[in-house]
Amino acid sequence: MELIIFNNILYGSLKPWHCSEVDNKYYRQRLSPSLMTPEHPDDYFLELKNIHPEKTELYVDDGLDVYQAVKITDRQFIINAPLVTTELAAPLTSTQRFYHYLLSNETTRITNRVYNTYTRDISETSKKGIIQEVVKSIKDLLLKIGTDYQTFPQDELSQYVIQQLIQNLIRLLKEIELLFPTDLISIASTKEEIYSELLGIEIPEGDINKLTPLFTTVKNQLLNSDNYEIAKSDKFSFGYKNGSLENLKTVMGSLQRQVELVDEDRCGISDLVSILTSKDIVLGTQPIYLTCETTQFSYIISKLSQHFTNLTPTAIEQSNLFYSKKGTALKRNNLYKNKTQYPKDQQAIDTILKGL
């Protein structure tokens, strides 16, 4: 598998050292929500084509197109956020912002693409080949960066982009290795191998294997199991992505007025916001009793999920905190069964959710 976008940043049409103040203005006018916070990984890619339609070399077959006509299975899942945490420096200019979201969302898109190719009805040999090829491509590019690092321009933008590229490549490598350990040729990469052997730089502090809550959900889906758990952690969270808390409160308040989201005689909308944004939901947390229809709640959750790393029907069930208006605990199967694109008050709900 070819890492087309990543390779073009260093050796092709996306070299940051070719950018000028004109490009900064160009990106400032085109940084849309679809590029920065896409609901689906492919949405960002479509937006990139709108921003750079002339760069056709970015959109060619990466080696996985041949599998896309193969039958899908029930293990398909949309991965729309990181599975491994990484600390990235915040962008200061529009051009930096473009590369920041480009690299982060491209990493998510590749993980999603590999996962949803792997889980198609293909042979075990093909599956192993896909995983081994993508790992090789990542390591090859990290080695190239280590070899060529001194030849790259030292301007602020170029150095910013190269560091972002390195961190996202490491994130991608660990996501693939940790999702598919049995398909690797050798053991998973260590910090020593990545930084010393491939990049040839000092080993930094920090954990490159720190998983997000979404990883557990994806791993369970891959294994067709509810029993996979991340080791060494008993925290539970829906993984709110540190957006505006006030915006979330406003949106949830508007949904309460529009569809009577929760039963205010038994809980409050503030309780729901607290649960959604908590970094560690503990025993004794106030349960949420719905007043709205389950089809509406399922729809709202699916729309909100882009702002979270772990807001899924499975996580809703695992929390043991959500009850239907009939008083029964919400299960993931019930939420999936009641999923529809056109619930009652759908247009009003969509308008309100645009406030996030």
pLDDT of residue 235 exceeding 80, the answer is no
- The answer to whether 25 and 69 have CB atoms below 8 angstroms apart is no
Look at residues 56, 7, 54 and name the one whose alpha carbon lies nearest to residue 169: 7
Specify the pLDDT at position 242. 64
Distance (Å, rounded) from C-alpha 154 to C-alpha 1?
30
Give pLDDT tens digits for 94-130.
Answer: 999 999 999 999 999 999 999 999 999 999 999 999 9
Specify the pLDDT at position 146. 94
Give pLDDT tens digits for 148-180.
Answer: 999 999 999 999 999 999 999 999 999 999 999
Give pLDDT tens digits for 308-350.
Answer: 888 888 889 888 899 988 888 898 888 888 888 889 999 999 9
pTM above the 0.85 mark?
Answer: no
Q: At what angle do helices 41-51 and 94-118 cross, to 10 degrees?
A: 130
Specify the pLDDT at position 284. 66
Distance (Å, rounded) from C-alpha 220 to C-alpha 206?
26
Give pLDDT tens digits for 210-232.
Answer: 888 889 889 988 987 655 554 44
- Tokens at residue 237, please? 């969270």
pLDDT of residue 234 exceeding 60, the answer is no
